[in-house]
Amino acid sequence: MLALIAALSLDPLFSAPTLRGAHVGALVVSADTGAVLYSRDADDAFVPASTMKLLAGSAALDILGNAFSFVTTVSLDGTDLYLHGGGDPTLQTSDLDEAATTARTLASLNFVGELDADDTHYRIARYPDGWQVDDLAYDYGAPASSLSLADNAIHIAVRPAGSAGSPATLTVVPDDPNLRIQNDATTGSARSADTTALEVAWAQQYDPRHRKHPA
């Protein structure tokens, strides 16, 4: 009966004119019994969509457990400080400051060297096969990495100049030397509407592994 209800409810949906020419498949399984309630081209190959995060998250909870924690380690080599990423998506700059302070205290040294960021913990492709190239410039197309900082976000503050027609001032945090910004924003008259917009252009890829920054 459940299979009949599923078939009756889904068949008209998949036969809608808006899906003409689309490659559509579905598999509905009872969570209680495992019985197949509905199947339509279920064995065909499809490009995974955003709903795959539900399966990935469920698998992670099942395998790792809800008490799992990502670990970011810090090591010293002479005057250089090494940050080894372990996949923590919540790492913030304040954590780096705390790690540097702790390392100085434990090693009894005045750290004046460089910070070497190591994100080689995950031996996987940064951009898996099948990703849309025009998605790579956006937040949902971020490369896979074992070392993320500040939610992988760059904050751009736009402030008006003292007079209308003058270029607006941009403040970028963090200031990444690999980021190129072309500022075409100008200051409008008093009480004018905010018409600023951001256009992202995808430049050549670079490998950020072992990039060194002044500490």
Q: For 54-80, write each residue's pLDDT tens digit.
A: 888 999 999 999 999 999 988 877 677
Best CA proximity match to 26, nearest among 56, 1, 49: 49
Residue 124 has pLDDT above 70, yes or no: yes
Higher-pLDDT residue of 138, 93? 93
Model confidence at 209, in pLDDT bands (50, 70, 90)? very low
Q: Is the pLDDT of residue 208 over 50?
A: no
Report residue 158: phi and psi, to 5°: -110, 125
Stretch among 54-58, 139-143, 178-182, 211-215 having the lowest mean pLDDT: 211-215
DSSP per-residue codes, 11-62: HHHHTSGGGTT----EEEE-TTT--EEEEESTTS-----TTHHHHHHHHHHH
Grouping H, G, I as helix, E, B as strand and the rest as coil, residue 155 is: strand
pLDDT of residue 145: 85
Percent of the chain with pLDDT over 90: 15
Write down the pLDDT at residue 1. Answer: 53
Query: With 70 as the cut, is the pLDDT of residue 120 above it?
Result: yes
* Residues 183/153, Cβ–Cβ less than 8 Å: no
Radius of gyration of the chain, Cα coordinates, nearest whole angstrom = 25
- Whether residue 181 has pLDDT greater than 70: yes
Q: % helix / strand / coil in the chain, to the nearest 5?
A: 25, 20, 55
- At 44, the pLDDT band (50, 70, 90 cuts) reads very high
pTM of the model: 0.58
In this prediction, residues 93-107 reach a mean pLDDT of 74
How much is the pLDDT for 104? 67
The stretch 107-121 carries a mean pLDDT of: 72
